[in-house]
Amino acid sequence: MLKLSKTQEECMSHTLTDKAVSLMLELLAIDSPSCHEEHARIDLESRLKELCSTVQIDEKGNLLGRIGATAGHQESPTVLLCCHMDTVPSAVGVKPSIADGILRSDGTTALGADDKAGIAAILVALEHVVSRGMPHGPITVLFTVEEEIGLEGIKALDLAWLGPVDRGYILDARGPVGTAITSAPSKSDAKIIFHGKASHAGFAPEKGISAISLAARAIDRMKLLRIDEVTTANIGTIHGGEVTNVVCDRCEVTLEVRSSTRERVNRHLAHMEFCCIKAVNDFGGSYEFLPIELYPGYRIDPSAKELTEFAGICKRIGIEYRTAPTGGGSDTNILRIKGLPVITLGIGYEGAHTLGEELAIEQLGTLVRLVTALVESEENIT
């Protein structure tokens, strides 16, 4: 392959960055909150068909594309590139702008760089690799659904349908490009339903048991937010009552707990249930405590092959390699528990899920360069 001069490489890098920005703006214009990814999927299916030999959609709505190896590289490792198509509800109706090299929304919505920055980088990098005939092994592209509501898309994935994966990269974490996530928490949600006793709030309030008071007493006893170095807990919603003149007889609370291990999560859930028991002892009434595990956590040994290979790729193309833990889950949580050697990568955005979410354009360009290196055959990037 023709070797580019430094000036030509810089020009090419600017061109790819511009393409990634343009594509990302197109993707941001397509609303795709969890469970409503259909418009994004239609768009991405069309784009993948221009790059891939086969494109498929499973029953859950996950989108899969395959690019066959170039001649002489059929035995090279199969590389998986994965992002989720859905966004949090606050990233709907995005009005993006670019100022001082930073891509942001207008402040009324989240941006949706989580995870559309990853999708844009994958598509631009693969178009570059394919159009220039760069040597590469087999490539699998997976765009999942319903990641933001508990990794539901990846949970439904049939590994036989996915096929072999020798190296996998999930582009879905905050932090500078070159960051590999080495640990992620286990997470459980829970619903608590407090049952009181209805009574007229003016005529006979003493005959009632307020389910809202039950909930308030229980929550007041709970250890919440930052529990310790590896554990967090949060009350998400409280719903109870319909009118002011009736003692509320039902109040529903939703919560989550995250920690480094399933055992730690379960221990804190037990503490929260004990607080419910104490509240019922104080006021009467009853409760239902309904936990559900959303995903298991993981920790990757620093010497693991998938990390050392990624570190080597970063070094070859001049990107600083970093490792970091995360407090959030990703499709990696499910794929690793199923035995796949995948890692989550930082893709440059900050402030995900907030109105202040932003992405440096320079980071998006670097991400395209990294994805290109992830799929190229080694001898082409040495």
Q: How confident is the model at residue 380 (pLDDT cuts 50, 70, 90)?
A: very low
d(CA 205, CA 231): 40
Tell me how many domains the chain contains.
2
Residues 273, 180, single domain; the answer is no
Are 213 and 103 contained in the same domain? no
User: Which pLDDT score, from 0 to 100, does residue 14 have?
Assistant: 81
Whether the per-residue pLDDT at 373 is higher than 50: the answer is yes
Judgement on whether residues 161 and 218 belong to the same structural domain of the protein: no
Whether residue 275 sits in one domain with residue 321: no
Active-site annotation holder among 114, 115, 146, 147: 147
Residue 82, in any domain of the structure: yes
Q: In the chain, how many H helices and how many E strands?
A: 10, 18
Residue 40 to residue 94: CA distance in whole angstroms: 14
Q: In the structure, what pLDDT confidence band is assigned to residue 302 with cuts at 50, 70 and 90?
A: very high
pLDDT at 13 over 90: no
- The sign of the torsion formed by the CA atoms of 375, 373, 310, 262 equals negative
- Of 295, 330, 364, the last residue of a domain is 295
> Looking at the predicted structure, is the pLDDT value of residue 382 above 50?
no
C-alpha distances out from residue 129 to 111, 265, 380, Å? 28, 44, 11
What percentage of the chain reaches a pLDDT higher than 90? 95
Contact indicator for 86, 47 with CB cutoff of 8 Å: no
Is 376 catalytic? The answer is no
Check pLDDT > 80 for residue 258.
yes
Residues 69 and 126 in one domain: yes
Are 158 and 234 in a shared domain?
no
CATH at residue 319: 3.40.630.10
The band of 1, judged by pLDDT with boundaries at 50, 70 and 90, is very low
State the pLDDT at residue 377.
73
Q: Is residue 1 part of a domain?
A: no
Report pLDDT digits (tens) over 28-55.
999 999 999 999 999 999 999 999 999 9
Domain boundary among 295, 315, 345: 295
Query: Is 337 within the bounds of a domain?
Result: yes
Per-chain mean pLDDT for the chain = 95
Largest CA distance in the chain: 89
**Banded model confidence at residue 7, pLDDT cuts 50, 70, 90:** low
Instruction: Check pLDDT > 90 for residue 12.
Output: no
Residue 305 falls within a domain, yes or no? yes
pLDDT digits (tens, 9 = 90+) for 49-60: 999 999 999 999
Q: Are residues 101 and 148 in the same domain?
A: yes
Angle between helices 38-49 and 6-28 (to 10 degrees): 150
**Residue 49 within a domain:** yes
86 lies in a domain? yes
Do 264 and 284 have their domain in common?
A: yes
Same domain, 233 and 329: no
**Domain shared by 180 and 190, yes or no:** no
Strand, coil or helix: 304: coil
> Which of residues 261, 295, 329 is at a domain's end?
295
Same domain, 243 and 371: no
Does 130 score more than 80 pLDDT? yes
Find the mean pLDDT for residues 99-120. Answer: 97
Which pair of tokens denotes residue 162? Answer: 């996915």
Q: Is the peptide bond before 43 cis (omega within 30 degrees of 0)?
A: no
In a domain, 249, yes or no: yes
86 is catalytic: yes
CATH label of the domain that carries residue 261: 3.30.70.360
Mean pLDDT, rounded, for 353-366: 97
Query: Which residues have a Cβ under 8 Å from the Cβ of 289 and sit 6 or more positions away?
Result: 190, 192, 272, 273, 276
Which residue blocks in the chain are alpha helix, DSSP H?
6-28, 38-49, 113-131, 152-155, 159-162, 211-221, 262-283, 305-316, 331-337, 361-375
Q: Is residue 123 in a domain?
A: yes
Q: Is the pLDDT of residue 298 over 80?
A: yes
Domain identity same for 282 and 369: no
Per the structure, the complete domain to which residue 222 belongs is given by 186-295
